[in-house]
Chains A and B, each alone.
Chain A
Amino acid sequence: MNPIVQNLLIVFGVLFGALTMAAGLIWIERRMLGLWQDRYGPNRVGPFGIFQVIADMIKIFFKEDWIPPFADRTIFTVAPAIVVATVLLGFAIVPVAPNVFVVDFNIGILFFLATSSIGVYSLVLGGWSSNNKYSLLGALRGTAQMISYEVFMGLSLMGVVMMTGSFSLHSIVEAQQGMWFVVPQIVGFVIFIIAALAETHRLPFDIPEAESELIAGYHSEYSGMKFGMFFVGEYLGITLISALTVTLFLGGWLGPSFLPPFAWFSLKTLVVILFIVLLRAALPRPRYDQLLSYGWKVLLPLSLLNILVTGAVILATG
């Protein structure tokens, strides 16, 4: 096959897969939450209620797209697009199978950290441009939370990088042939999951939104498809961090050979996604200052210690 055609196929395949997963997650999440909270969830539209996604999409497309007169129009419009664009950029470095990946940077992990740090702007600008005090409070909380947890997320991954000797995700998966990194890097794994949840401001860390205190936080003033973009961005974010957790700690596409590599990757990603949904069903939201002091006083020393111990072990064993 022509290499350009093949590359385009992979790019659009990954894009299509990510977006489908994000849309499907709306249904999966509501059904699973229903299951865990002992109720039905959406079960009317189509078999098992699976067409609920389509009904939701049609609804959100036809909602009035209203920009409040007191908002900063340009920034208000740009903000929701930033989160979707940056998360989709992050998918570029995820290797789905040995030869199915968009690009294999030698700075892969750093590229993901860069896109996620640009993603903060969506929340900050959305909150600021709404010109609403609840939105602003949400944006302030979100900025502090995401900037802090970015640090631990980066540091927690350095153990993996040290064991592989490369930032490239492709070689990280290859290095897990013998043992998945979740075993030697269990501390890094736990810190990464916590920090990634805080970075996508997903429940239980959805403090920038915090419906019970701030209406809807930074997107209080958003409606219609602009609100939908924030929503899609959140679900894409969940998919991305699940895919990255699988790649970095759970062996990526590796697995017994009765299933193809792509199937292993998808299966593991789905399990991690379900785990994140379960967290939403199980845990209450911490208080805002508790979250920050927990980060700086517990996660930062732990992740530094993890780097130190990993480095010492690598040095000792050569």
Chain B
Amino acid sequence: MEILFYIASIVAVVSTIMVITRLNAVHALLYLVVSLLAVALIFFIIGAPFIAVLEVIIYAGAIMVLFLFVVMMLNLGKIAVEQERRWLSPGIWIGPAILSLILLLELIFMFAHSSQAIQATMISPKEVGVTLFGPYLLGVELAAMLLLASIVGAYHLSKRKKKAKHRFMEETAE
């Protein structure tokens, strides 16, 4: 099991690096999908199959597809790739690289002091449901309200007045 975990982690890290360095937006998104799938596999290995599958359905299967949908319609061509290349010049890397290095060192420091092995405790879908509708009920309700509001908002924004088909009616119907 441990070796599977490390393989999945390496895939996740490498594909995330690829997401950042790709110049073509669609290629970057595809690497992000691979990264999400790898993270889902990690969830599965550490005993949370329900979350793993939801990660694939919602993140990799729905949200990323919508991202791709939008990027496809933008028709990004050679100009966008050139722009990305200019933005990814070596000088820009220095700041984020130093900051990430500090975080990485902290992470290694923390892991070095806690010598716990990966513990796979299976959590069944039922337990997830019981927890969600038990102690975390308030959070679920709040998220539901937020989502409802955003659905209504999105519907309102995309609603357009019907245009009258008749050429004489066009001004009055607006």
B72 touches A139 (CB 8 A): yes
Within 8 A of A (CB), among B25-78: 26-27, 30, 33, 49-50, 53-54, 56-57, 60-62, 65-66, 68-69, 72-73
B124 at the interface (CB under 8 A from A): yes
Q: Which residues of B contact A144 (CB under 8 A)?
A: 69
Residue of chain A at shortest CB distance from B26: A128
Q: How far is the CB of B98 from chain A (nearest CB, A)?
A: 34
Which of A111-119, A186-194, A261-269 is near enough to bind chain B? A111-119
Q: Which residues of B contact A113 (CB under 8 A)?
A: 53, 57
A16 at the interface (CB under 8 A from B): no
Compute how far the CA of A128 lies from the CA of B60 in the bound complex, rounded to whole angstroms.
18
B125 at the interface (CB under 8 A from A): yes
Proximity string of chain A (94-105) to chain B, C-beta cutoff 8 Å, 1 when within and 0 when not? 000000000001
Compute how far the CA of A314 lies from the CA of B166 in the bound complex, rounded to whole angstroms.
54
Residue of chain A at shortest CB distance from B77: A131
A128 touches B72 (CB 8 A): yes
Q: Which residues of A contact B53 (CB under 8 A)?
A: 107, 110-111, 113-114
Q: Which residues of B contact A167 (CB under 8 A)?
A: 125
Q: How far is the CB of A146 from chain B (nearest CB, A)?
A: 8
B57 touches A114 (CB 8 A): yes
A140 touches B69 (CB 8 A): yes
Q: Which residues of B contact A128 (CB under 8 A)?
A: 26, 68, 72
Known: A113-B57, A118-B60. A136 touches B72 (CB 8 A): yes
Compute how far the CA of A125 lies from the CA of B57 in the bound complex, rounded to whole angstroms.
18
Among A106, A114, A124, A150, the residue within 8 A (CB) of B68 is A124
Among B26, B54, B68, the residue within 8 A (CB) of A110 is B54
Q: Which residues of A contact B60 (CB under 8 A)?
A: 117-118
Residue of chain A at shortest CB distance from B44: A107
Q: Which residues of A contact B66 (CB under 8 A)?
A: 147
Known: A107-B50, A128-B26. A117 touches B62 (CB 8 A): yes
Interface size of B by CB at 8 A reads 21
Compute how far the CA of A110 lies from the CA of B65 in the bound complex, rounded to whole angstroms.
18
Among A75, A114, A125, A136, the residue within 8 A (CB) of B61 is A114
A121 touches B56 (CB 8 A): no
Compute how far the CA of A75 lies from the CA of B71 in the bound complex, rounded to whole angstroms.
15
Known: A75-B30, A167-B125. A107 touches B61 (CB 8 A): no
Q: Which residues of B contact A83 (CB under 8 A)?
A: none
Known: A105-B49, A106-B49, A106-B125. A120 touches B65 (CB 8 A): yes
Compute how far the CA of A105 lies from the CA of B125 in the bound complex, rounded to whole angstroms.
11
A140 touches B26 (CB 8 A): no
Q: Which residues of B contact A118 (CB under 8 A)?
A: 56, 60-61
Among A111, A124, A154, the residue within 8 A (CB) of B69 is A124
A110 touches B62 (CB 8 A): no
Q: How far is the CB of A265 from chain B (nearest CB, A)?
A: 25
Compute how far the CA of A128 lies from the CA of B73 in the bound complex, rounded to whole angstroms.
9
Q: Which residues of A contact B57 (CB under 8 A)?
A: 110, 113-114, 117, 154
Q: Which residues of A contact B73 (CB under 8 A)?
A: 140
B33 touches A107 (CB 8 A): no
Q: Which residues of A contact B69 (CB under 8 A)?
A: 124, 140, 143-144
23 pairs of residues in contact across A and B, judged by CB atoms under 8 Å = A106-B125, A107-B49, A107-B125, A110-B50, A110-B53, A110-B54, A110-B57, A117-B56, A117-B60, A118-B56, A118-B60, A120-B61, A120-B65, A121-B33, A124-B65, A125-B30, A125-B68, A128-B72, A139-B72, A143-B68, A144-B69, A154-B57, A167-B125
Binding site for B on A (CB under 8 A): 72, 75, 105-107, 110-111, 113-114, 117-118, 120-121, 124-125, 127-128, 136, 139-140, 143-144, 147, 150, 154, 167
12 more A-B residue pairs beyond the given contacts A114-B56, A125-B30, with a C-beta to C-beta distance below 8 A: A106-B49, A106-B124, A110-B125, A114-B53, A114-B57, A117-B61, A117-B62, A118-B56, A118-B60, A140-B69, A147-B62, A150-B62
The 10 closest A-B pairs by CB, nearest first: A117-B61, A114-B56, A110-B53, A107-B49, A114-B57, A143-B69, A128-B72, A114-B53, A107-B53, A120-B65
